[in-house]
Structure 1
Amino acid sequence: MPRTVLVTGGTSGIGRAVAASFAAEEAEVFITGRHSDTVARTAEELSAHGVVHGVVCDAADPGQAAELAARVGELDVLVNAAGGLPDAGSGEASPLEELRAQWHSSLTQNLLTAVLTTASVRDGLSGDSSVISIGSIGAERKGGSYGAAKAALAAWNASLSAELAPKGVTCNVISAGYIEATNFFRGQMTDDRRRALVEETHNKRPGTVDDIARTVGFLASPGARHITGQTIHVNGGAFTTR
């Protein structure tokens, strides 16, 4: 029986690659985004791979998250891929107000979206379901408000696993290193910065969206049913654990 998969932030980058991968496996896939034109276009493009539904949803809005859950129903895999760098300040507020806005943006995009989406679909998760959230290497280094939000995502995941794993639901975070061909850096990536990020890896190459999508696929597979409450680092060795 085909699985039902929900991917937040599924219109570009990692989220899009994850959605395409599940669609190719004949899952019924729901992708979300905040902009109707982008959601519709991406869903139509990905439908060439399988059954993909586009849903306009700001996952930080409780009402929209609840409506999303009602539409999706029972769910086999949830991938919290929505997130990104904080919004740029207007330059018109005081420094402290700008700082507060930056932190609020980071926490909303990278933590609250995952928390509210997961809570909204919780009743639809079964004993074979998986919740996978996309974290970042920025949580381990000078990541500012973005890194702090991703670190909080991993801490929340550990708590979520303790709640849901007794019911058979696995909960994990994939902490991504530098991933090429995404909109993450908003066109600000320089050649020198890219070389530095690649050089710090052990395998001397940038990550790809497919690297993350394949890891998501594994964590949602029968072979990963005893893996839960973990942060899986996918960064080519740029950050190592023991």
Structure 2
Amino acid sequence: MGRRIVVSGGGTGIGLATAETFAAAGERVVILGRRAEVLRAAADKLNAAYGADLVTWTGADLSDPEQTRRAAEFITADGAVDVVVTNAGGNVAPFNDGTLEGVADQYQRNFAANVLTAVLLTEALLPHLTRPGGRIVHLSSVASLRGPGSYGGTKAALHAYTFELAKRLGPEGVTANAVAPGYVEDTEFFGERGTPEFIAQQIGETLTGQPGTPAEIAAAIRYLASPEAAYMTGQVLHINGGAQLGR
């Protein structure tokens, strides 16, 4: 029997590609998100391709402690967890109305969507994470290095949380890392903002002249979750086509 993998935001984009790369290897995957119909369709698609019942799902708003607790109970009902990938989130509040109330709402919404969803799920599953050998991978963003502030700041906060986990769990044989993508095509991330002009600008900022793909990001996540990555912890892996040089 393969490992147990948990992927939040697993119904579309990078999360779905991540679930697929694990399912294709015969590993058992639980995908989470807020939209039941999207999760169900994703699980059905992957199970049809890679084997019945490899992928299960449960719906939850992971910024809410009680919903996260229920999700964790569902996930751990039949055993331990080997890998946690916190992919849920996004720039859910890209604009504000210029008032202090609007600014506060923008920052609070992005914090809930990107930090709380990762922290609450991770903390809920920590008692059930395999020791030694457990793996935690958080999804960050190139925005953590260059903004925008309300979204980029939340991703930078995930770096600090990643470093904390690496120190806390290293002695127990558990690693914690983050992956920070640049522009990735075939996701819902930009929504209506993803005009042809905007996409061309994003690609134009790279040194490779091409967008990233969900499968490329998923491959990096799978490596960080692998037994071969046991010596890699407390790191942020930037994948952005050179749009932002390493530091």
Q: TM-score, structure 1 length as denominator?
A: 0.94
| RMSD, aligned α-carbons | 1.6
The CA deviation string for residues 92-137 of structure 1, in whole angstroms up to 9 with x for no partner, is: xx82222111111110111111000000000111111100010000
Determine the C-alpha separation between the residues in 2 that align with 1:204 and 1:36. 36
> Structure 1 residue aligned with 2:105, among 95, 101, 105?
101
Judge conservation of contact 1:129–1:169 (CA < 8 Å) in 2.
yes
Q: What is aligned with 2:31?
A: 31
> Structure 1 residue aligned with 2:233, among 211, 219, 228?
228
Distance change in 2, residues 1:218/1:88 (3 Å): closer
Task: Compare the two structures and name the one with the higher strand fraction.
Answer: 1
Matched, 1:75 2:81: yes
Matched, 1:172 2:177: yes
Judge conservation of contact 1:86–1:103 (CA < 8 Å) in 2.
no
Q: Which segments of structure 1 move beyond 6 Å, counting only runs of 4 or more? A: 88-91
Aligned positions of 1:175-190 closer than 5 A: 175-190=180-195
Determine the C-alpha separation between the residues in 2 that align with 1:90 and 1:238. 26
Matched, 1:52 2:55: yes
> How big is the shift at 1:147?
0.5
Determine the C-alpha separation between the residues in 2 that align with 1:90 and 1:198. 26
Matched, 1:215 2:228: no
Q: What is aligned with 1:120?
A: 124
Q: What is aligned with 1:63?
A: 66
Paired amino acid for 2:195:
T
Q: TM-score, structure 2 length as denominator?
A: 0.93
Determine the C-alpha separation between the residues in 2 that align with 1:6 and 1:203. 32
Judge conservation of contact 1:62–1:116 (CA < 8 Å) in 2.
yes
Aligned residue for 1:75, secondary structure, equals coil
Determine the C-alpha separation between the residues in 1 that align with 2:3 and 2:210. 33
Q: What runs of 5+ residues in structure 2 fail to find an aligned partner? A: none
Q: What runs of 5+ residues in structure 1 fail to find an aligned partner? A: none
Paired amino acid for 1:40:
R
Identity %: 38
Aligned positions of 1:190-209 closer than 5 A: 190-209=195-214
Deviates more, 1:220-229 or 1:44-53: 44-53
